[in-house]
Chains A and B, each alone.
Chain A
Amino acid sequence: MSSRYEIRFSGSGGQGMILAGIIMAEAAAIYGDKNAVQSQSYGPESRGGASKAEVIISSQPIDYPKATAIDCMLAMTQEACTKYHKDIKEGGILLVDSDEVKEFPQGKFRLLKFPIINTAREELGKTIVANIISLGMIAELTGVVTHEAIEKAVLSRVPPAFLELNKKALQIGFEKAKTLK
Chain B
Amino acid sequence: MAEKKKKLLQGNEACVEGALYAGCRFYAGYPITPSTEIAEGMSVRLPKLGGKFIQMEDEIASMAAIIGASLAGLKTLTATSGPGFSLKQEAIGYACLAEIPCVVINVMRGGPSTGYPTGPSQADIMQAKWGTHGDHPAISVTPAYVQEILTETVRAFNLAEKYRTPVVVLYDEIVGHMREPITMPAPGEIEVVDRAKVTCKPEEYFPYDDKYEVAPLAPFGTGYRFHVTGLNHKQDGFPTNDPKIIRENNERIMRKIENHKEDIWKNEETFLDDAEVAVFTIGSTARSARYAVNEARKAGIKAGLLRPLTIWPFPDRAVAELAKKVKAIIVPELNLGQMVLEVERCSRGATKVEGIHRVDGEPITPAQILEVIRKYK
In the complex, chain B residues whose CB is within 8 Å of the CB of A26? 8
- Which residues of B from 158 to 173 have beta carbons under 8 Å from A? none
Q: A37-B179, A38-B179, A68-B366 are in contact. Are A30 and B284 (CB under 8 A)?
A: no
User: For the side of the interface on B, what is the size category?
Assistant: 20 to 34
Across the interface, do A66 and B8 meet the contact criterion of CB distance under 8 Å?
Answer: no
Q: A30-B6, A38-B8, A63-B294 are in contact. Are A43 and B178 (CB under 8 A)?
A: no
In the complex, chain B residues whose CB is within 8 Å of the CB of A39? 174, 177-179
Across the interface, do B287 and A64 meet the contact criterion of CB distance under 8 Å?
Answer: yes
Across the interface, do B179 and A30 meet the contact criterion of CB distance under 8 Å?
Answer: no
Is A84 an interface residue when CB atoms closer than 8 A count as contact?
A: no
Is B41 an interface residue when CB atoms closer than 8 A count as contact?
A: no
Is A44 an interface residue when CB atoms closer than 8 A count as contact?
A: yes
In the complex, chain B residues whose CB is within 8 Å of the CB of A66? 174, 363, 365
In the complex, chain A residues whose CB is within 8 Å of the CB of B363? 66
The complex places the Cα of A37 from the Cα of B118 at a distance, in Å, of 19
- Which residues of A from 14 to 59 have beta carbons under 8 Å from B? 22, 25-26, 29-30, 35-44
How near does chain B come to A33, taking the closest CB pair, in angstroms? Answer: 9
How near does chain B come to A44, taking the closest CB pair, in angstroms? Answer: 6
Across the interface, do A44 and B288 meet the contact criterion of CB distance under 8 Å?
Answer: no
Across the interface, do B118 and A41 meet the contact criterion of CB distance under 8 Å?
Answer: yes
Contact of A25 among B118, B179, B287, B290 (CB under 8 A): B179
Could you show 25 A-B contacts with beta carbons less than 8 Å apart?
A1-B295, A22-B8, A29-B6, A29-B8, A30-B6, A36-B8, A36-B180, A37-B180, A38-B8, A38-B178, A38-B180, A39-B174, A39-B177, A39-B178, A39-B179, A62-B180, A63-B290, A63-B294, A63-B366, A65-B174, A65-B178, A65-B180, A65-B287, A66-B174, A68-B366
Contact of A29 among B181, B287, B366 (CB under 8 A): B181
17 new A-B contacts, CB < 8 A, other than A29-B180, A30-B8, A65-B284, are A22-B8, A22-B179, A30-B181, A36-B8, A36-B180, A37-B180, A38-B8, A38-B178, A38-B180, A39-B174, A41-B118, A43-B118, A63-B288, A63-B366, A64-B365, A66-B365, A68-B366
How near does chain B come to A117, taking the closest CB pair, in angstroms? Answer: 25
How near does chain A come to B7, taking the closest CB pair, in angstroms? Answer: 7
How near does chain A come to B113, taking the closest CB pair, in angstroms? Answer: 15
User: Using an 8 Å CB-CB cutoff, how does the interface string of B107-118 with A read, 1 for contact, 0 for none?
Assistant: 000000000011
Q: A39-B178, A63-B287, A65-B287 are in contact. Are A30 and B7 (CB under 8 A)?
A: yes
Chain A residues packing against B (C-beta within 8 Å): 1, 22, 25-26, 29-30, 35-44, 62-66, 68
In the complex, chain B residues whose CB is within 8 Å of the CB of A38? 8, 178-180
Is B271 an interface residue when CB atoms closer than 8 A count as contact?
A: no
In the complex, chain B residues whose CB is within 8 Å of the CB of A22? 8, 179
How near does chain A come to B1, taking the closest CB pair, in angstroms? Answer: 10
- Which residues of B from 168 to 198 have beta carbons under 8 Å from A? 174, 177-181
Closest chain B residue to A45, Cβ basis: B118
Across the interface, do B291 and A63 meet the contact criterion of CB distance under 8 Å?
Answer: yes
Across the interface, do A35 and B291 meet the contact criterion of CB distance under 8 Å?
Answer: no
In the complex, chain A residues whose CB is within 8 Å of the CB of B177? 39-40
The complex places the Cα of A108 from the Cα of B369 at a distance, in Å, of 27
- Which residues of B from 267 to 289 have beta carbons under 8 Å from A? 284, 287-288
The complex places the Cα of A148 from the Cα of B202 at a distance, in Å, of 64
The complex places the Cα of A41 from the Cα of B118 at a distance, in Å, of 8
In the complex, chain B residues whose CB is within 8 Å of the CB of A41? 118
- Which residues of B from 111 to 131 have beta carbons under 8 Å from A? 117-118
How near does chain B come to A12, taking the closest CB pair, in angstroms? Answer: 15
How near does chain B come to A10, taking the closest CB pair, in angstroms? Answer: 15
The complex places the Cα of A135 from the Cα of B284 at a distance, in Å, of 28
Interface core residue of B179, B294, B363 (most chain A CB under 10 Å): B179
How near does chain B come to A132, taking the closest CB pair, in angstroms? Answer: 17
- Which residues of B from 328 to 377 have beta carbons under 8 Å from A? 363, 365-367
The complex places the Cα of A27 from the Cα of B269 at a distance, in Å, of 32
In the complex, chain B residues whose CB is within 8 Å of the CB of A35? 181
How near does chain A come to B122, taking the closest CB pair, in angstroms? Answer: 15
How near does chain B come to A145, taking the closest CB pair, in angstroms? Answer: 13
Across the interface, do A64 and B366 meet the contact criterion of CB distance under 8 Å?
Answer: yes
In the complex, chain B residues whose CB is within 8 Å of the CB of A1? 295
Closest chain B residue to A26, Cβ basis: B8
The complex places the Cα of A88 from the Cα of B14 at a distance, in Å, of 31
The complex places the Cα of A40 from the Cα of B173 at a distance, in Å, of 10
Q: A42-B118, A44-B117, A66-B363 are in contact. Are A36 and B294 (CB under 8 A)?
A: no
In the complex, chain B residues whose CB is within 8 Å of the CB of A64? 287-288, 291, 365-366
User: Using an 8 Å CB-CB cutoff, how does the interface string of B284-310 with A read, 1 for contact, 0 for none?
Assistant: 100110110011000000000000000
Closest chain B residue to A37, Cβ basis: B180
In the complex, chain B residues whose CB is within 8 Å of the CB of A65? 174, 178, 180, 284, 287
The complex places the Cα of A141 from the Cα of B291 at a distance, in Å, of 28
Closest chain B residue to A22, Cβ basis: B179
The complex places the Cα of A65 from the Cα of B10 at a distance, in Å, of 13
The complex places the Cα of A39 from the Cα of B363 at a distance, in Å, of 12
Interface core residue of A41, A43, A44, A62 (most chain B CB under 10 Å): A41
